[in-house]
Amino acid sequence: MKFIVKPGGIVIILVIVGGLLYLITSSSHKRTVDNSIVGLGGSPTFTATASASPNTIAPGATGTITVAFKDTGAAASNVVTDIEVHNSAGTKVAQQVYNGQNFTTGGTNTNNWSWTAPTTPGTYTVSLGVFNSTWSTGHYWGSNVATINVGLPSIKFGKPSAINKASANP
C-alpha cells in the first residue's frame, strides 16, 4: 500500500481486517506512507472443528467429542465455549459448556468431552459456539460441525462353512 502525502500533510487510515481495527499513519516528513500497521484491538472471532470417537457408537455407549476453537481475531477472556449434540429433528439432546475460557490472538483451545450417546439410534450433529460470559454476545456459532451415527454396529455374515458329511450322518 502506498499513498502520496503532500509536505506537511497528515494521512490517517483506519482498516478493519478479520475483526481487528488497524491504524495506518503517515510521517509528516515523508512523502509516502510506510506500511507499518499497529493493531488497536477489536472483536474476537473464531473458527472451530469437531470430531467424534468413535464416529459410529452404540446407543447408550460412551464416546469422546474433541473440539478445537481457534481465535482468529482479538484476544478474548472469560468466554463460554459450548458443545451441543442435536438429533435429526434439530432438538438438542446433549450439551457441554466450558466457562471462563481465555484465548490469545491466534490461540487454540481444545476440549475432550466424554459423553454418553442417546438411546435412540439415528444421525446426530455437533454444533459449537463461543459466547461472552453472560451469553448475551455470540462470537461464533457453527451448526453441523461434525456428524455422529448412533446405532448398533453392523454384523457381517460370511458364507456358511461346509458341513462334514461324515459327522452329519448318524
Torsions phi, psi for 87 (to 5 deg): -80, 180
The segment(s) of the chain belonging to CATH 2.60.40.10 are 46-150
Interacting residues of 162 by C-beta distance below 8 A, sequence separation 6+: none
Torsions phi, psi for 130 (to 5 deg): -130, 130
Interacting residues of 163 by C-beta distance below 8 A, sequence separation 6+: none
Q: 12 and 25 in contact (C-beta within 8 Å)? A: yes
Q: Which of these, 25, 21, 20, 47, lies nearest to 35 by C-alpha position?
A: 25
Sheet arrangement for strand 38-42:
12-17, 20-25, 38-42
Predicted TM-score of the model (pTM): 0.67
Q: What is the pLDDT of residue 31?
A: 36
Q: 59 and 118 in contact (C-beta within 8 Å)? A: yes
Task: Among 2.60.40.10, 2.60.40.1530, 1.10.357.10, 3.40.640.10, name the CATH number for the domain at 46-150.
Answer: 2.60.40.10
Round to whole Å and give the CA distance between 95 and 86. Answer: 9
pLDDT tens for each residue of the chain, 170 residues long: 455 555 555 555 555 555 555 555 554 443 333 333 333 457 899 999 999 999 999 999 999 999 999 999 999 999 999 999 999 999 999 999 999 999 999 999 999 999 999 999 999 999 999 999 999 999 999 999 999 999 965 566 666 555 555 555 55
